[in-house]
Structure 1
């Protein structure tokens, strides 16, 4: 057994860039939406509709990348650097092949997809959606490859590299939007082109950096690499359940959004505000979870189970502290934040209630609900987390949302109660029991 050691300084150097990256992505997303608003309502709708599809791809490929990187991390924990490097190269090829195939399918069935998902929208919105879709979907492989490269750098404890690349990507996106929308007065195309170019730039840059032969997980020899069935099996064993879980999770969000759209304008507006604030509620915990995969995967690979428990406790306390600091601050600032929106009194009241529900749940139960799941995946127990997450989502998030909203007449508030408290509580209980059982000790790759 190898002893895995991370000092306080090591953990800070790992987590701070991830926190900054997550926060930057949120701010750029807000800036992006504000600038697209200047193009008109059709453009806003088009961007929102198509992004619901592209965000699904981001959820899936980021989870697959993290799962595959966990395999490389386990090999690093065993001091098997050659296998770790080969695992990283196999992950890149897998993400590239799958994402390219997905992109082709999205183009081949573009008309059917647009009609199926958005068939009842106004003609001008459909035209804008078609243009935005045609351009942005070409970035699907870039999304997958960037996430793969970023995950490999994080496993090497070089989270500063993805952060710097993200600054470049997001800076290009914002500057490009400003230039094309306000300078050249372009329509939705002016939103799409910077998105495409910035994503591909980030993918190219991160792989130029990853090609450095001096890196532990360098992809410099990827052209001469021979496919290894065992490595692919190990990667798919973790990455496929992780990707399926994230994809199903996002699908559940879309179903709830469709359900909420029947509640009326005030609920739709309040839900949109709640979703915006909800991203801020959880970004700190998500950052800790991403860093946790790096540490725990190496502990699992090394067979250092006591080390895994030790760092899990430390990172759990870190997550609770950060989530409390962020969410209590947002609660204090909630009234002035809501005043910025200028919405109706009913929408404002609903937005305040759902934000308080979600923010309080983020402090109390987000960490056991999600951080333990990341711990289990990093140890190789990804299939269990996938099954539990899917069952919990369909029963306690989707079904109970309908029960609370329709039968108990709670409307939007009922949906957010089911989502934030019932789903997360059930997940927390089951994952805590799984963690305490110690079964994860036997799930490391062979």
Structure 2
């Protein structure tokens, strides 16, 4: 028995060495980056899943409103994350090149830029909340629209808090310190879920309870992240007074990655928002089905999402050392690992489909539609998702931000938006047609990024 254990251990170490060890970084360091991100994503997505399940107990109007506004929330929060990712990439490359002074300066400038942007966006969205809701969801039922207004204003109040939190965590990931990000995320998300249980389940506050829980949790997350990076982190050495000094040379490097990625997020998630307007036309039940299937699909994506985040500091540090061989090796290995995870997740989760439906309380008539869309996702994920989403993260970490952004925008608007309307509305396939258009778009993105990866231009940029 002991010999068998030794043999298994030896084979495991050999496989890890073969696929996840190079001159720049070894498998222990990569696992150290991936594991905390994986746990973070697992908690984040599971809590989002449970939150959707809890709010669904308040009725289809509440879950539809939350789903609609969350599309807008994702749209805007991803812009903040995009700028933070610019900081992550530059921090990782400076870390790889051994320039610790520039690591600290870059992290500070990234946090400053994200804070300013989030405050401006929050103020504008609160002032113009009604025109925005009328433009996007004017055809929604009156009770859905009223819930959406409450949730949107509450979400906007919380934007600066989540933006600062994401900027701090982005800088920490850049230097490979993912464990503190995990701990900070747990503080924020566990608080959010506990408050949701209290305010929604026990106090029946519905959408208002969700808003209060979100704001309180994100304030706590921001405060905790700033306390950690100021008092306890020795690598970045962040100081609040330094945020008042704008260093345009460093900011330019951050923006070189951040602005194209932010533009991509604006147009990419703008396409998702436009798709959501198709779904509003299909009725409240279609919106509810879409929200539930999205929650289930995110469960499938827990592991691969973690890899798409972890690949940025891994490839960034390799490029910082100008070790292209390592960068290519780790990109292929992490995409392969993602595919394996996509085979495992549905095998574990699909047997519990009936239990998940009991959590969400959907009307009986839409359960077959939810199941069909879930099966489509389970089949498409291992074939198409990884090259569509992990590959562009890797290319962006090497500085190839303009190409990845343009390719993502074109595939989104030419396929997901246009084809989604044609299949869902024109041809009358409804919500399933919109879902299939999204899957087709994944495939095209993957082909484009795979072709780019085979060339040399993606690693020709010199940022540091």
The reply to whether TM is greater than 0.5 is yes
**Kindly tell me: are residues 262 and 199 of structure 1, through their superposed partners in 2, closer, same or farther at Cα, counting changes over 3 Å?**
same
Aligned to 1:204: 223
What is the TM-score when the length of structure 1 is the normalising length? 0.90
**Kindly tell me: are residues 417 and 343 of structure 1, through their superposed partners in 2, closer, same or farther at Cα, counting changes over 3 Å?**
same
2:104 is the counterpart of 1:47:
no
2:133 is the counterpart of 1:114:
yes
The superposition leaves residues 346-398 of structure 1 with CA deviations (integer Å, 9 ceiling, x where unpaired) of 53332222212222111112111111101110001111011001101111212
Aligned to 1:166: 185
Aligned to 1:426: 444
Counterparts of 1:265-414 in structure 2, within 5 Å, are 267-334=286-353, 337-338=356-357, 347-406=366-425, 409-414=428-433
Aligned to 1:438: 456
The superposition leaves residues 244-276 of structure 1 with CA deviations (integer Å, 9 ceiling, x where unpaired) of 222322222222222234345664443333212
Aligned to 2:277: 258
**2:311 touches 2:393 (CA, 8 Å); kept in 1?**
yes
Aligned to 2:176: 157
**1:213 touches 1:219 (CA, 8 Å); kept in 2?**
no
**Kindly tell me: are residues 43 and 414 of structure 1, through their superposed partners in 2, closer, same or farther at Cα, counting changes over 3 Å?**
closer
- How far apart in 2 are the matches of 1:232 and 1:143? 21
Aligned to 1:237: 256
**1:299 touches 1:307 (CA, 8 Å); kept in 2?**
yes
Moved more, 265-274 or 134-143: 265-274
Aligned to 1:18: 37
SS of corresponding position for 1:262: helix
Paired positions, count:
443
**Kindly tell me: are residues 441 and 177 of structure 1, through their superposed partners in 2, closer, same or farther at Cα, counting changes over 3 Å?**
closer
**1:168 touches 1:202 (CA, 8 Å); kept in 2?**
yes
Moved more, 261-270 or 393-402: 261-270
- How far apart in 2 are the matches of 1:31 and 1:337? 10
Shift of 1:201: 0.9
- How far apart in 2 are the matches of 1:225 and 1:190? 36
SS of corresponding position for 2:25: coil
Shift of 1:118: 4.0
Aligned to 1:95: 114
- Could you tell me which runs of 5 or more consecutive residues in structure 1 were left unpaired when the two chains were aligned: none
**Kindly tell me: are residues 315 and 193 of structure 1, through their superposed partners in 2, closer, same or farther at Cα, counting changes over 3 Å?**
same
Moved more, 326-335 or 165-174: 326-335
**Kindly tell me: are residues 181 and 261 of structure 1, through their superposed partners in 2, closer, same or farther at Cα, counting changes over 3 Å?**
closer
- How far apart in 2 are the matches of 1:415 and 1:123? 24
Aligned to 2:49: 30
**2:423 touches 2:437 (CA, 8 Å); kept in 1?**
yes
The superposition leaves residues 139-181 of structure 1 with CA deviations (integer Å, 9 ceiling, x where unpaired) of 1111111111111111222211111111111221122233334
Aligned to 2:17: none
SS of corresponding position for 1:254: helix
SS of corresponding position for 2:301: helix
The superposition leaves residues 301-329 of structure 1 with CA deviations (integer Å, 9 ceiling, x where unpaired) of 22111111122122122212212211333
**1:139 touches 1:199 (CA, 8 Å); kept in 2?**
yes
**1:369 touches 1:428 (CA, 8 Å); kept in 2?**
yes
For the aligned residues, what is the CA RMSD?
Answer: 2.6
**1:74 touches 1:444 (CA, 8 Å); kept in 2?**
no
- How far apart in 1 are the matches of 2:107 and 2:405? 23
Shift of 1:123: 5.3
Shift of 1:295: 0.6
Shift of 1:45: 4.8
Moved more, 292-301 or 117-126: 117-126
**Kindly tell me: are residues 213 and 199 of structure 1, through their superposed partners in 2, closer, same or farther at Cα, counting changes over 3 Å?**
closer
The superposition leaves residues 77-125 of structure 1 with CA deviations (integer Å, 9 ceiling, x where unpaired) of 1111111211111000000111111111112223333333344555555
Aligned to 2:98: 79
Aligned to 1:228: 247
**1:260 touches 1:412 (CA, 8 Å); kept in 2?**
yes
**2:60 touches 2:288 (CA, 8 Å); kept in 1?**
no
SS of corresponding position for 1:219: coil
**Kindly tell me: are residues 119 and 320 of structure 1, through their superposed partners in 2, closer, same or farther at Cα, counting changes over 3 Å?**
closer
- Could you tell me which runs of 5 or more consecutive residues in structure 2 were left unpaired when the two chains were aligned: 1-21
